[in-house]
Structure 1
Amino acid sequence: MKLALHWKIIIGLVLGVIWAIVSSQMGWSQFTIDWIAPFGTIFINLLKLIAVPLVLFSIISGVAGLGDPKSLGRMGAKTLGFYFATTLLAVGLGLLLVNVINPGKLVDEQSRIDNRISYELWAASEGIEVKDGVNYLQDPTYRDRALEITELSKADLKDATVEEKMATANQAKEAGPLQPLVDLVPQNIFSSLGDNGSMLKVIFFAIFFGISLLLIPNEKSNPVKAFVDGTMEIFLKMVDIVMQAAPFFVFALLAGVVSKMAGDDVGKVLEIFKGLSWYSLTVFLGLMLMIFAIYPLILKLFVRVISYTGFFKSISPAQTLAFSTSSSAATLPVTMECVEDNLGVDKKVTGFVLPIGATVNMDGTSLYQAVAVVFLAQLHMIDLTFAQQLTIVLTASLASIGSAAVPSAGLVMLIIVLQSVGLNPAWIGIILPVDRILDMCRTVVNVTGDATVSSVIAKGEGLLHYDKARETERTFEP
């Protein structure tokens, strides 16, 4: 029997964990780092190679695919407004939960200190500013520990303290209040494409380009749209090809990441998975609150005629398929059927709102990205400022426009969000073991959000057919 790809990936993850534990116990961590981990690095490099152009062309395609702006009118503005509002709600909820629960801080302190040292060494090697302005390697206590866990000399560690980067950080603090707005607009899009910290500039350019494409005559824009759509399909195919080799790559990535973090100490391996369990619970709690609290509240405020139980009864087939496929795109035909036949939303609305939702509405993905980035920062003793967390909100929200409605697309977007706040993209290996099951859950959130927004738009446009809505046991009172 031929195994589905996601089962192969899960097997690769499990084998990676087993290998990490065995190599830690047997003292083989250095072998793992030298001969297995490089394939994990190749995997990350391939995803990074694809991520930026995929976001660029996906957003241009998504915006340009909205149609003639004159014909979009009120429905188009409402649709995009509601989708963006629910995405901001999801990211905000994720940040609230991760800052209250602090899953990354529940790991033992010595492991987090070692992680922090590794982060500072990585930042020095990449020429990236240490985000919270603190440099542990300047403290002799931590420098001694760094000598124990790395092969660097004292001179190398002194270089790694990068005092000049601290000066850069101080200059950033003295910048004016509108500097973040200035930083949003690129001077040169080509240099921004190659700069790890410029993803918001790339997203700004993509949205600007897409809107401009909408505003020129069709005979001139159609060839460009065809080129953009075709190029986006090529990059999606590249993701597909890379994911075919993902079972081997994730084995190597996970084995390498765990070995680098834990060395030959099995106890640290267990600490990593202790942190993962708290991270998973935080994401799961956020996703469940979106499904069972936030969306029903939106329905109660804006629709009123669809009952709590009736809503979930109506869209349960779409939710079930979303959970099993992890793909909003694959679920779209069933979502449209459920929303039209069970909730009474007119075809004029479903045919417009739901396909856009499958492209731009990734509430579950955005929430997971916000939680994941802050969790990984906490795990490495990095205190992200409010401004840096606001960058996560903006990047996660805007990057969700470019998230392909296919399994594991959120993983590519997470690399973008990590890069936007100057954190190591290879850290996605830490959360890979639990990514598949959370991917299934967040796709359910995405599909539920699509159904909610389409119901709200239909009610506002007078295209919600109450006779069908009543069949779903409406109980919300006006």
Structure 2
Amino acid sequence: MSQSAHKYSLTARIFIGMATGILTGVFLQLLFDDSGDFTFSIFGLELSTYNILVEGIFSTLGQIFIASLKMLVVPLVFVSLICGTSTLSDPSKLGRLGAKSVGLYVVTTAIAITLAMSIALIIAPGEGLNLTTETTFQAKEAPSLSDVIVNMFPSNPINSMAQGNMLQIIVFAVLFGIAMAMTGNAGKRLTAVFEDINTVIMRLVTIIMNLAPYGVYVLMAKLFSTIGGDTILSLAKYFFLVFGVLILHGLVTYSVLLKVLAGLNPITLLRKMRDAALFAFSTSSSSATLPVTMETARNKLGVGNSVSSFTLPLGATINMDGTAIMQGVATVFIAQVYAVDLSLGDYMMVVLTATLASIGTAGVPGVGLIMLAMVLQQVNLPVEGIALIIGVDRLLDMTRTAVNITGDCMVSCVVAKSEGALDEDIFNDPNAGEKQEDVDFEHFERNK
């Protein structure tokens, strides 16, 4: 890689890719909206310039980038958890990790939705709107609590990995790691093998991160060439309210909890989360961002592998603070649009349902809207009201994913500090982990 490519940090390169992608998408939309599409014929086929660029090049490259990130998730989670669990000298530590992690994730989710509904009731984003919709949203049925518990245990671990069922992978990896720790010399030899595999996987993460600016560019260009500005303007009050609460929760709530519970500097955490947050914003997927989140927690925040390998995959699966905020604002918004008065008991039911649903619907595609449908049904609001906000949900989904992974790392730091597994020298070092950013591809070429 040339020297000119290295003069900017990874964060700067990702931001440049994001900005240029947005500008490209806006330019394409303005160009083709006003003057019509450019078509031409090759071998008798009518081809569209817009479709070739947006649905062809941008869409294909964007899907390849997302697939490359998702490719790493299952092996990374499985190997990291085995490495972390197999080195635990005290089995009771695993129980403490689980209780602390789940407890903190549930608390932050409850705070998020309570904050969202409180601010929404004050600002009243849906008052005065007489919106109607002919579109209905058919929600999948959310699993019961007993089904969630039963489904955490895999009957076929290989099938769980193939399907990407993270809760089942976590359970199997933890049990496998505990068995390795109890097996003596054979377990120690196997642990050394998994440690080597983990090192290779983290190097692969670094390689993918070097390609991130280009992946982010095509994702942003594709999105902003298809989303309409009139859609955002028509729901501006709702959009900016959700966006504002997301930023407030991400900056204030997490900062207060980190300072109070761990005595750590929240500015340091937020500064070091830049790369992972940009990844999350562009991919809209906590699971796809997980490799970058784990690299950030270990190399930049100093969270030990025994903690990060457990708390971060769990957080990517069940921690949905951003989604809870969307649900809180959307519930108030839809109730006001349809002129439905909700009681204090109804709002308490929304808080309880959304908090529990963050675990109950983990791993389901489109989980945010599915969870919202579940919440609306609990308080007898029309589920078709979801159609009112679908148009701007894609942009908000990007922001709430960035909030979610920030919460994951905050909880990991708090848990690691309480377990004595946090390297505060790394946490407080502003340059920690920076040397991991760049891969010298020229070195690979010279040594072929």
TM-score by length of 1: 0.53
Does 2:218 match 1:277? no
Deviation at 1:413, TM superposition (A): 2.1
Structure 2 distance, partners of 1:347, 1:231, is 25
Structure 1 distance, partners of 2:307, 2:296, is 13
Structure 1 distance, partners of 2:302, 2:420, is 11
Q: In structure 2, what residue type is equivalent to 1:204?
A: L
Structure 2 distance, partners of 1:303, 1:76, is 18
The corresponding residue for 1:91 is 113
The within-5 A match list for 1:54-203 is: 72-107=94-129, 111=130, 202-203=143-144
The corresponding residue for 2:347 is 389
The within-5 A match list for 1:397-416 is: 397-404=355-362, 408-416=366-374
The within-5 A match list for 1:298-317 is: 298-305=257-264, 307-317=265-275
Deviation at 1:392, TM superposition (A): 1.3
CA contact (8 A) 1:104 1:279 kept: yes
Deviations 1:131-150 (A, max 9, x none): xxxxxxxxxxxxxxxxxxxx
The corresponding residue for 1:452 is 410
Q: In structure 2, what residue type is equivalent to 1:466?
A: E
Structure 1 unpaired stretches of 5+: 1-6, 19-64, 123-192, 214-221, 234-246, 255-269
The corresponding residue for 1:206 is 147
Alpha-carbon spacing, 1:229–1:470, altered in 2? closer, same or farther (3 Å): closer
Structure 1 distance, partners of 2:431, 2:296, is 15
SS of alignment partner, residue 105 of structure 1: coil
SS of alignment partner, residue 339 of structure 2: coil
**Richer in helix (by share):** 1
The within-5 A match list for 1:423-438 is: 423-438=381-396
Alpha-carbon spacing, 1:373–1:360, altered in 2? closer, same or farther (3 Å): same
CA contact (8 A) 1:403 1:409 kept: yes
Alpha-carbon spacing, 1:281–1:341, altered in 2? closer, same or farther (3 Å): same
Alpha-carbon spacing, 1:79–1:273, altered in 2? closer, same or farther (3 Å): closer
Tell me how large the CA RMSD over aligned residues is.
4.0
Same amino acid, percent of matched pairs? 38
| Matching residue within 411, 422, 435 for 1:464 | 422
Deviations 1:430-460 (A, max 9, x none): 1012111100110011011001000000000
Structure 1 distance, partners of 2:92, 2:266, is 36
Deviations 1:43-93 (A, max 9, x none): xxxxxxxxxxxxxxxxxxxxxx999x9773111100100011111111111
Structure 2 distance, partners of 1:461, 1:328, is 25
Deviations 1:205-241 (A, max 9, x none): 3345458x6xxxxxxxx527777887886xxxxxxxx
CA contact (8 A) 1:326 1:406 kept: no
Structure 2 distance, partners of 1:311, 1:405, is 27
The corresponding residue for 1:242 is none
SS of alignment partner, residue 376 of structure 2: helix
Deviation at 1:355, TM superposition (A): 0.2
The corresponding residue for 1:373 is 331
Q: In structure 2, what residue type is equivalent to 1:354?
A: L
Alpha-carbon spacing, 1:203–1:72, altered in 2? closer, same or farther (3 Å): farther
Deviations 1:298-319 (A, max 9, x none): 11101223x2332122111000
Deviations 1:129-174 (A, max 9, x none): xxxxxxxxxxxxxxxxxxxxxxxxxxxxxxxxxxxxxxxxxxxxxx
CA contact (8 A) 1:329 1:406 kept: no
Structure 1 distance, partners of 2:366, 2:351, is 20
Q: In structure 2, what residue type is equivalent to 1:432?
A: I
CA contact (8 A) 1:339 1:350 kept: yes
SS of alignment partner, residue 104 of structure 1: coil
The corresponding residue for 1:297 is 256
The corresponding residue for 1:153 is none
Deviations 1:318-366 (A, max 9, x none): 0000000000001001011111111111111110000000000010011
Alpha-carbon spacing, 1:417–1:231, altered in 2? closer, same or farther (3 Å): farther
Structure 1 distance, partners of 2:308, 2:164, is 24
CA contact (8 A) 2:148 2:360 kept: no
Structure 2 distance, partners of 1:382, 1:472, is 51
CA contact (8 A) 2:101 2:411 kept: yes
Deviation at 1:391, TM superposition (A): 1.7
Structure 1 distance, partners of 2:144, 2:92, is 24
Structure 2 distance, partners of 1:354, 1:412, is 23
Structure 1 distance, partners of 2:160, 2:145, is 17
| Matching residue within 282, 300, 315 for 1:357 | 315
SS of alignment partner, residue 472 of structure 1: coil
SS of alignment partner, residue 300 of structure 1: helix
Structure 2 unpaired stretches of 5+: 1-21, 34-80, 86-90, 166-221, 433-448
Alpha-carbon spacing, 1:440–1:207, altered in 2? closer, same or farther (3 Å): same
